[in-house]
Amino acid sequence: MLNYWANYFTRNGIGVGMFLLAAVLLWMVFMIILPQLYMVDFSLRANVPPPKWGGEEHVYTLEHYKYLLYGSSKSAEQFNTIDLSVFGRTILAAVFVTIIDLCLCYPVAYYLAHVARGGWARLMIMSLIIPFWINEILRAFSFKVLFGTSGLINNALMAVGLIDQPYDFVRENVALYSGLSYAYILLMIFPIYNAIESLDKNQIEAARDMGSPWWRIHWRIVLPHAKPGICSGSTMVFMLSAGALAAPQVLGGPSSLWFTQIIYKAFNNSANWARGSAYALVLLLACIIFVLLMMRIFKVKLGEIAR
Amino acid sequence: MGITAFNSSAFPRVTPWECFTVEWFSVLAEDKRLLTGLRNSLFIGLGVVCLSVPLGLAGALMLTQVKERVRPWYYTIVISPILVPGVVLGISTLLFWDRVGVMFGASRDSFFYNGFFLTIIGQSTFIAAYTMLVFISRLQRFETVQEEAALDLGATHWQTFKKILLPFLAPAIASASVLAFLASFENYNTTVFTAISTSTITTVLASKVRYGIDPSISALAVVIVVLTLIGAAVHEILKRREIARSKLAAEVAAGNRLSIGKQTPWYFDPALIMIFLIVVAGVGTTFMAGTMGVEECKVAVKTEKQRATQERIKALRERNQAKRDVEAAQQAQEAEQKREEKEGRTGTENFNSIFNTDNLAPAEDAPETTGEPENDPSRTGTENFNSIFSTDNLAPKDDSEQENGEQDKKDEEAPRTGTENFNNIFDTDNLAPKSD
Amino acid sequence: MSADVTLDDVWIRFGDFVAAREANIHIEDGEFFSFLGPSGCGKTTLLRAISGFLTPSQGRVLIGGKDMAGIGPNRRPTALIFQNLALFPLMSVWENIAFALEVKGMSKLERRKRADELLDLIALPGQGDKRVSELSGGQKQRVAIARALAAEPDVLLLDEPLSALDLKLRQHMRTELRAIQQRVGITFVYITHDQGEALTMSDNVAVMREGLIEQVADGSTIYDSPETAFVASFVGENNVFQGKVNRLDQSAAVVETPYGEFCARPIQRNNQDQLRVGDDAMVFVRPEAIENAQSDSANRISGEVLQTEFEGNLWQLHVQLPNGGPRITRSSINDGRATKHQVGDRIELGFSETSAIALPTGQLAAE
């Protein structure tokens, strides 16, 4: 170990070596690890006003987790159906969004990687990226404009004559799902694109040469090759849409609440930071467990994803 | 959406199309809250760039140096902020630095409780991971032997870093900075927790979007889109020049040409000049078209609408007249009921009901008042952005078990919480009733 | 200024792997010294230990009589020319050359002047403002040399600098390198796996195998009197016969092989692996030492012609010895007098006892 550090400083010099070490420590320890750990600690404590934090009344308790389960920190008679159902719905909706994105992005990524050429491909990539330089809220809002009762889609549908009454896409969550799907589409396209691009075109041609139909080529050659990309894309889309706040706030129908919105309320309206932390932690853990479970089912290693 | 910026209709919509106008751009330019938010966001964005770029760089350089065995762990930790929900990052940053502040005995107005500081830290946590990815991909093409060559020629480690590594990474630093700035500028999930009382462009937009908006937001979108398109085009052209140049260099090396010769400086590039002209012409035309004849058009639309409203009112009046004779008493009772129903509904529904188009509908039907949004009475109540934290907007849902009993109490609290800002959650009075 | 280099029992280990062992070498002041060996033999490791990028696990590196322990590469009087040259692509040619002066804090004017002088030295006058990417392979090579020379090193270290060049250019650069070395008069330590480069340029050559230095000598000694089976088979072409030593004296060894008894010159290496009667031994004969059997040939072999190859100046003849014996190669100068052989001909060959050498059996170089 001593030898390692001696080598490290010989290689980088004292100044640069110290800078690297200090920056990485600041980032890893003070920005990533400690805040998360502190949040865990905080979520396990009673909800007392800030001046008493760290004081005697700030005792360890599981009340916030109980609250999520039973809707009350004391009785365990009935489950907290409101919060739990929101939680379940959030996870399910995130899965749904991930699947939509996967279905949309695989063909696009394949097209970009193997069919489109030169300038045209660049142009397509650019036009995919540019909307993402525009504010998240505005992006979500444009979906509201599109899907609103007097929005473009309703007008178009009415003009064509498919419907005679404006359809309330917002209330039916169509707007929310499309907004979320769109919000994270790039995170799905690029990993898949990178994976497919590294596939040797000759493999596809060889398969075609042997008389394989197009769907079998994809099933047996392209898909297995793109698997790491698909996994990392799906992981990111799932985690981020489950943790999204902006799109549900702007696009959420009156009947649907996103779990992050409950967390947000716990902080801003109920002023119960501890409960908010506990909920946030549950969300984080649930996402991680879900992802690990999926990786287990689809037999992917963590190393393949983190690329 | 961009199109709605040029419609004179008070609600951002394409149809019905009323008049082509650029007035929403001037509304945008005069929106104080938005401008403050914009300024704050720019400041935070700069801070995030200054913090996350060095962090990402250090993280990427460190990745090549940690031991083989530790590397996957290290990578997982530093990449995790990308996957962790922004909400979680925001909360943990807020809590942690509060704790640190307490430990140092810092006062409430020290930087530990400053929205700028917390937002920059919170955003940098995950944006540094983005920039790190940029640096990693650039570093993969770096020949470490160049560093050795410089050292061998007598350079110190610092000179090597400054003269060899940094120039090589310059393009990556530029793109990481742009990326970091954009990511910071558009972030909402983390910012909404760490910003405390500081307003940023996204939080302002979010509150605007909730409380009814006018097309000045679309105008903002148009401005951003145009700026990014120009940026993208310029970037593309510069990149092509770079590619062309390296091709030329390869030809020279192969002996097919004698030398590269003088290249025109970038600002003389015909493509760039073209873009500049198109932008100027486009903006000019739009402005001309958007200012000329708008008033006449608007008056026409207004009179048309007024006529329609008059007719509707007339019809309504006639109908009412007929009814009134028969069921005057019943009518009054019904009206009373309706009002109660409405109250009941807002009480039980959650705060998403503010998105309900019903709420916005009156504004659409009454162009006379919404022509000047500043005077819109429905909006002045929400003028203070912090009032979105006001308990009376959302509280009913929270305490749904004890709904009606607390109604009075809440009404008492409401005016105060409505005007105070977010920090009042530190107030013990607020917390006491909730914890039981 | 110039300096000698001494490796005093240098060992370099990476974990359990020993990259270089018991390296004892003295390189004279002003000498052109080469390390020759197949890739992975540890020659680059030794070079990096001299330049300071590696610290020996054991032993000392002395430059100019001074122990280099604890002195980093940027403070050693050495300059290294890397295998891929490692020119700085973002700097112009002259900035590359003047880099060592820049980090010393020399003024720009002086730097430029010195760079131009060096450009003249490497025969690239007036090319200073070009970009590195605009140079051809040979030009880059020379710029790398100039850049290293600008640092005014006492010892110039070269790590296979010619390996990326094509054959013609490589041969041209050999003479040029040698000329530059004689002009500047400093010690050159050269690493290569190409024996042609090592033999043509060097005053002395160290042949390495698997971390061990097998022989240090001048080129002709290495070629004519290799001390180990590895050196004999690695440097130049050689035909080899395995057998047992029957008789042995100072000037001759008789080795019994399945193809007959051969009389050869024994090479006795100091203090180790001495050849003794009854030992396994190998007889090496260079292809050019094999001729048609004469009546007075000391050693005779016969076999069947497998293949004839015409190489312009040479005829190569591959002959299969009977009973599953080795294939041997004979080369003769194409002087118009050589007898033409047909594939399948039986042929009698012979070689003199002075042109063959006998060595203790050892590992041969891989083909």
Supply the pLDDT for residue B430.
42
For C236-360, CATH number out of 3.40.50.720, 2.40.50.100, 3.40.605.10, 1.10.3720.10 equals 2.40.50.100
Contact C133 B154 (CB under 8 A): no
Supply the pLDDT for residue C157.
93
Q: Which of B311-315, B343-347, C297-301, C310-314 has the weakest average pLDDT?
A: B343-347
B90 and B173 within one domain: yes
Cβ contacts of B172 on chain C, cutoff 8 Å: none
C326-350 average pLDDT score? 81
Closest residue in chain A to residue B418, using alpha carbons only: A269
Contact A141 B431 (CB under 8 A): no
Closest CA to B123 of B174, B191, B37: B191
- Structurally, chain B folds into a number of domains equal to 2
C9-33 average pLDDT score? 90
Query: Residue C74 is nearest to which of B152, B250, B253, comparing CB atoms?
Result: B152
The set of chains that have 3 or more CB pairs under 8 A with B is A, C
Cβ contacts of B145 on chain C, cutoff 8 Å: 82, 84, 86
**Per-position DSSP letters for B36-96, written without gaps between them:** HHHHHHHHHHHHHHHHHHHHHHHHHHHHTTS-TTTHHHHHHHHHHHHHS-HHHHHHHHHHH
Supply the pLDDT for residue C163.
81
Contact C78 B148 (CB under 8 A): no
* Chain B with chain C: Cβ pairs closer than 8 A: 76
**Is A29 within the bounds of a domain?**
no
CATH number at residue B94: 1.10.3720.10
B225 and B197 within one domain: no
B237 and B192 within one domain: no
Q: To the nearest whole angstrom, how far is the Cα of B347 from the nearest Cα of chain A?
A: 13
B125 and B54 within one domain: yes
Put residue C59 in one of left, alpha, beta given phi > 0 → left and psi -120 to 50 → alpha: left
Supply the pLDDT for residue B363.
40
**Is A90 within the bounds of a domain?**
yes
Domain boundaries, chain C: 5-224, 236-360
Cβ contacts of A126 on chain B, cutoff 8 Å: 232, 236
B207 and B148 within one domain: yes
B225 and B185 within one domain: no
Residue A90 to residue A97: CA distance in whole angstroms: 10
CATH number at residue A220: 1.10.3720.10
Supply the pLDDT for residue B127.
92
pTM of the model: 0.73
**Is A122 within the bounds of a domain?**
yes
Name which of B95, B118, B354, B398 to mutate to probe chain A: the one with the most chain A Cβ atoms within 10 A of its Cβ: B95
Alpha helices for B349-374 (secondary structure H)? 357-365, 367-370
Supply the pLDDT for residue C273.
65
Inter-residue contact C286 to C356 (CB < 8 Å): no
Residue C77 to residue C54: CA distance in whole angstroms: 15
Task: Give contacts of C 139-198 with B, CB under 8 A.
Answer: 147-148, 150-151
Name which of B152, B166, B252, B259 to mutate to probe chain C: the one with the most chain C Cβ atoms within 10 A of its Cβ: B152
- Structurally, chain A folds into a number of domains equal to 1
Domain that holds residue B258: 1-6+215-291
Report mean pLDDT in 10-residue bins for chain B, 436 residues. Answer: 54 58 70 84 92 93 84 84 85 85 74 83 92 89 87 89 90 88 86 82 79 69 76 76 76 64 59 72 67 65 77 82 71 61 46 42 40 40 39 39 41 39 41 38
Supply the pLDDT for residue A266.
81
Inter-residue contact C136 to B252 (CB < 8 Å): no
**Is A109 within the bounds of a domain?**
yes
Inter-residue contact B363 to B378 (CB < 8 Å): yes
Supply the pLDDT for residue B44.
92
B227 and B202 within one domain: no
B195 and B150 within one domain: yes
Name which of B68, B153, B164, B252 to mutate to probe chain C: the one with the most chain C Cβ atoms within 10 A of its Cβ: B153
Assess whether pLDDT exceeds 90 at residue C205. Answer: yes
Closest residue in chain B to residue A125, using alpha carbons only: B232
Closest residue in chain C to residue B251, using alpha carbons only: C134
Domain that holds residue A218: 79-305
Query: Residue B67 is nearest to which of A4, A243, A276, comparing CB atoms?
Result: A4
Closest CA to C227 of C359, C116, C46, C77: C359
Residue A31 to residue B97: CA distance in whole angstroms: 10
Residue C225 to residue A293: CA distance in whole angstroms: 69
B236 and B118 within one domain: no
Supply the pLDDT for residue C111.
92
Inter-residue contact B19 to A164 (CB < 8 Å): no
* Collapsed DSSP state (helix, strand, coil) of residue B299: helix
**Is A136 within the bounds of a domain?**
yes
Contact A246 B188 (CB under 8 A): yes
Q: To the nearest whole angstrom, how far is the Cα of A239 from the nearest Cα of chain B?
A: 6
**Is B261 within the bounds of a domain?**
yes
Closest residue in chain A to residue B136, using alpha carbons only: A307
CA distances from B149 to A301, B154, C72, C99, C144 (A): 38, 9, 13, 10, 10
Choose one of B194, B214, B234: the last residue of a domain.
B214
Supply the pLDDT for residue B308.
80
Query: Residue B167 is nearest to which of C73, C90, C131, comparing CB atoms?
Result: C90
Choose one of B214, B246, B267: the last residue of a domain.
B214
Inter-residue contact B120 to B180 (CB < 8 Å): no
- The one-digit pLDDT tens for each residue of chain A (307 residues) are 667 777 777 777 788 888 889 999 999 888 888 888 888 888 887 777 666 666 666 677 777 777 777 766 556 666 777 788 888 888 888 999 999 999 999 988 888 888 877 677 777 877 777 777 667 777 777 777 777 766 677 777 777 777 767 667 666 678 888 888 888 888 888 888 888 888 888 888 888 888 888 888 888 888 888 888 888 888 888 888 888 888 888 777 666 678 888 888 887 777 778 888 888 888 888 888 888 888 787 776 655 544 4
Supply the pLDDT for residue B345.
46
**Is B420 within the bounds of a domain?**
no
For C5-224, CATH number out of 3.30.360.10, 3.40.190.10, 3.40.50.300, 3.90.470.20 equals 3.40.50.300
Closest residue in chain B to residue A146, using alpha carbons only: B1
Inter-residue contact C328 to C319 (CB < 8 Å): yes
Cβ contacts of C147 on chain B, cutoff 8 Å: 153
**Is B137 within the bounds of a domain?**
yes
Name which of A138, A238, A241, A287 to mutate to probe chain B: the one with the most chain B Cβ atoms within 10 A of its Cβ: A138
Supply the pLDDT for residue C5.
92
C73-77 average pLDDT score? 88
User: In terms of residues, how long is chain A?
Assistant: 307
ipTM over 0.90: no
* Collapsed DSSP state (helix, strand, coil) of residue C18: strand
B284 and B156 within one domain: no
Closest CA to C151 of C198, C102, C117: C102
B131 and B50 within one domain: yes
Strand order in the sheet with C66-67: C17-27, C5-14, C58-63, C66-67
Neighbours of B424 (CB within 10 A): 15
